[in-house]
Chain A
């Protein structure tokens, strides 16, 4: 191999063309280190926030709704629902328009009640976070 050979110059020119732009090493290293440092920086606050949200969510949605049924004589309404079966459940309740729903049993996913006028028994599967009990006066 003779370094004065024009062919060697061709190879060296090709090598220069293949040289990455300035700062390439720094860019690679910052990309390698970014995820790790972000994980370190955000892991504790994110985990804490998620735990707080879980606890708050548990006590402000399903849990409290489950343990505080509306008193007898008050209406029951589902709000914040969009899917068809949920709309159907809401329609049934609103059509009844009677204050005598008696909640016989509540669970996280299922509601059962008796309509005092029609003596019909209703049962719906409802996600607990979609359920809110309000007074019959609000109809």
Chain B
């Protein structure tokens, strides 16, 4: 991503976007771009398809934004759309999943599929916080601000997520 997204709460950005503020929705796209792509990639296992699905997700979210009742839940809602889009893409294209060995491990786009699967298997809130922190680069306090949660809650859920990921089989073996 070109620029680090602001830490204005999702709720405010959604309200502004509904009022026609282009920059507000662009900020949401920037904020959740990596998370949406990660959800899509977790299902499609292909960077190009995942980016296409991510684009579709944001276009669809923009069209349906007025239907979102609880605006503070934008991130959760968006990632659910991303999952639906990626599953539809996989069904429509009958995607052949590429071999994991095809990824160049030295490439910056090489993906640790085991780790990604573990992240995707986390409970919804933990997964979202992990992705905002590690994928989009937000600090814990910024995540608390963005998602309108107490900072203690975010910290606790991040710690839980970290423990779960630490216990994954590939880590235990190290």
Contacts and interface: CB of A to CB of B under 8 A. Distances in A.
Interface of A: 1, 7-8, 10-25, 27-29, 31-33
25 contacts: A7-B171, A8-B134, A10-B112, A10-B115, A11-B115, A14-B116, A14-B119, A15-B136, A15-B137, A17-B109, A18-B41, A18-B131, A19-B1, A19-B37, A19-B135, A20-B54, A22-B1, A22-B2, A24-B55, A25-B2, A25-B29, A27-B55, A28-B58, A32-B59, A33-B22
Interface residues of B, number: 39
A12 B110 CA distance: 12
B135 A14 contact: yes
B30 A25 contact: yes
B51 A21 contact: yes
Interface of B: 1-2, 22, 25-26, 29-30, 33-35, 37-38, 41, 51, 54-55, 58-59, 62, 108-112, 115-116, 119, 130-131, 134-137, 158-159, 162, 165-166, 171
- The main secondary structure of chain B at its interface with chain A is helix
